[in-house]
Amino acid sequence: MISLKDLAFAYDRISPSILNGCSADIPTPSRVLVLGRNGCGKSTLLDVLSGFKVPTLGKVEINGVNLYSREKSVKELRTIISYMPASLKLPPYLTVSYFLDLWGGSYFNREILDTLNLTKFLDHKYAHLSDGYKHRVNLAISISRGGMVFLDEPLRSQDDELKRSFPELVSKYVKNRTLLVTSPNIIDGVKWDAVYTLESGVLK
C-alpha cells in the first residue's frame, strides 16, 4: 500500500503551496493515472513520492514505512521505486547500450528495445538521438528496473507510434508491479485501477 497522508509541498515559507493536503491509499500492485493540467503539480507530486523532494507537511508510507524517516535513505528508495521525470538529462557522450547496461543491468528485458524501436540505436551516442528517441531510452530504463514504476507524462510530445505501443509496454513489462503515471489527458488502452485528478494541489 502506498499511503499519502495530508501531503503538502512548498518551496519556501513565502511561496504558495503546490501540493495542499493530498491524501490517497493506493493498493500495490495497481495501475494508477493522475490527470492534471500543465503546472498543477503533477511533477512535484512524483518528486515527493520518489524521494527527490521532502514534503512540507504530511507523509508518504509504503507498506506502513515512512519514506522520510531517518532510517530511509534516498539510496534505499531507489531499490523500490523506478522514476522517470518528465525531463531527464543523461550524459550526452555515452552510448544507448551503456545506459541500458548501467541502469537495466542483468534484469533488462531486451524485448523492450524492439517494442520501442531502439535496437538499431544501441551503438549511437545519446547526444545524437532526437528528443523523441532520448525519451524512449529513458522510458526503457525506467520500465526495465524492478519495483514500482513512476512515469511523469511519458507520452508528452511523443509520436503516435509510441502512444500506440504504450499499452503493450505496460501489459508485458510492468506485470504485478505498481505503475503510477501522470498525464494531462486520459491514456487509452491501459486498464487503470484508479484515476485521480490533481486540482488546486489536491487529489480528487
**DSSP conformational letter for 16:** P
pLDDT per residue over 120-168, tens digit each? 998 999 888 888 888 888 888 888 877 899 999 999 878 888 888 899 8
- Give residue 78's pLDDT band: very low, low, confident or very high (50, 70, 90): low
Higher per-residue pLDDT: 13 or 199: 199
Lowest mean pLDDT among 71-75, 80-84, 142-146, 161-165: 71-75
- At 76 the pLDDT is 67
Judge whether 102 lies within some domain: yes
**pLDDT at residue 73, rounded to an integer:** 55
Read off the pLDDT of residues 177-196 as tens digits, 9 standing for 90 and up: 999 999 999 999 999 999 99
Side chain identity at residue 136, one-letter code = R
Number of neighbours of residue 39 by Cβ within 10 angstroms = 10
pTM (whole model) above 0.85: yes
Q: Is the dihedral of CA 105, 110, 115, 121 positive or negative?
A: positive
pLDDT confidence of residue 6 = 94
**pLDDT band, residue 43 (cuts 50/70/90):** very high
SS3 category, 48: helix
Name the grid cell of 127. 547526444
Q: Number of folded domains in the chain? A: 1
Banded model confidence at residue 8, pLDDT cuts 50, 70, 90: very high
Asked if the structure places residue 59 within a domain, the reply is no
The pLDDT of 81-94, averaged and rounded, is 78
Q: What is the pLDDT of residue 19?
A: 94
Look up the domain containing 87 and give its range.
27-51+67-203
Average confidence (pLDDT) over 30-50: 94
Given a cut of 80, whether residue 87 has pLDDT beyond it is no
Cα torsion angle, 43, 48, 53, 54, sign: positive
Kindly state whether residue 6 falls inside one of the protein's structural domains. no
User: Is residue 18 in a domain?
Assistant: no
Residue 117 within a domain: yes
Identify whether 134 is part of a domain.
Answer: yes
For the purposes of burial, counting CB atoms within 10 Å of the CB of 201, is it exposed (0-12), middle (13-18) or buried (19 or more)? Answer: buried
Give the residue ranges of DSSP H helices in 128-192: 131-144, 160-173
Tell me the residue type at 53. Answer: K
Which of the 8 DSSP states describes residue 125? B
4 belongs to a structural domain: no
CATH of the domain at 139: 3.40.50.300
In a domain, 145, yes or no: yes
* Least reliable range by pLDDT among 53-57, 107-111, 123-127, 159-163: 107-111
pLDDT, residue 15, reads: 83
